Amino acid sequence: MGDWIVSLSGTPQGAQLATMLALMSAVAHAAFGALQKGRHDPWLTRGAIDGWLAVISAPIALFFVPWPNAFTAGMLAGAFVIHFCYKLTMALAYERAAYTVVYPVVRGTGPIVTVLAASIIFKEHFSLTQWAGVACLSGGILLLALRNLSEEVIDRAALKSGLAWAVLGGVTVAIYTTWDAYGIRSSLNPFTFLAWFFFLTALDFPILAAVRYRRMTAKPDLAPLMWRGFAGALIAWVSFGGVMLATRLDKVGEAAVLRETSTVFAALIGWFILGEKVGPRRLFLMALVALGAVIVEMGG
């Protein structure tokens, strides 16, 4: 399978598969975000997800894929640090502001920085048409955040803090997307990088979550949290694995932009599954995000 992925890299067939993987990743990431919404403490939720990720990924990394060489091991070590910072900023943002505000800010900031980084590191340059698509997509996402922000009634200081962490989270999204793309492209077998990535980067938050749980005076029931964590781990493999394979097959910037259509799918999940109101303005902004993704894909 790894050799097949490598053989498709840079080909028209690889570009088509990359598009499908990026969109699949977007749907999965929207579901992943919905799992983290409300009900459970964000630190405990992430700890449960990462705990299951480590359990699921360990046998694959240890027994079913080639072990990483020294360079790939170094890239994995860097990924561990970067993804810890990402998860930390997301937990702090979710702790202070609503999911419907935080999520669009993070996803709207990431594509702009990622495309800029890809142009420098991978020499992948967007056309003016594609930049217009990025502006359309990121603008739609950030306007969606502003729309959600206008309905918030929480403490303004906490809201500002949450937004600051969300912006920082968007920057870390761009950093990890670029770093992971370099790592999976440099690995002889892309599935070696994926398996070890999921195993190693999942070792931190279960420890933090366990410490937090012990310090809680009113401890939540662990059974539903564990089931949610198991579902989140499976979805994470599809979401993060899909977009990383997409960056191995085709342009990093295009995969990152397509992946951010997750905000559209997140809104649809909220509308049809969670029973949230969407309204004409949100529908327009969702259409703007989708249009931006189409422009980027067609303008390449």
Residue 112 has what pLDDT? 84
**In this predicted structure, what is the pLDDT of residue 243?**
93
pLDDT at 152: 63
Report the C-alpha gap between 86 and 176 in whole angstroms: 8
Which residues, 6 or more positions from 59, have their beta carbon under 8 angstroms from its beta carbon?
Answer: none
Distance CA 38, CA 192 (A): 34
Q: What is the 3-state secondary structure (H, E, C) of 62-113?
A: HHHCCCCCHHHHHHHHHHHHHHHHHHHHHHHHHHHCCHHHHHHHHHHHHHHH
Q: Tell me the C-alpha distance between 236 and 28, whole Å.
A: 7
pLDDT of residue 88: 92
Hey, what are 174's tokens? 């761009």
Q: Phi, psi at residue 42, to the nearest 5°?
A: -60, -30
Amino acid sitting at position 158 = A
Residue whose pair of structure tokens reads 């935080």 in the numeric block: 102
Q: Which of 146, 165, 23, 144 is nearest to 95 (CA)?
A: 165
pTM: 0.88
Rounded CA-CA distance 289/108 in Å is: 10
Name which of 232, 218, 184 is nearest 31 in CA terms.
232
* Residue 261, Cβ density class (10 Å: 0-12 exposed, 13-18 middle, ≥19 buried): buried
CA dihedral angle for residue 154, residue 83, residue 35, residue 276, rounded to 10 degrees: 50
> What residues in the chain have per-residue pLDDT under 50?
none
Query: What are the boundaries of each domain within the chain?
Result: 2-125+152-260
pLDDT of residue 102: 80
The confidence score (pLDDT) of residue 99 equals 72
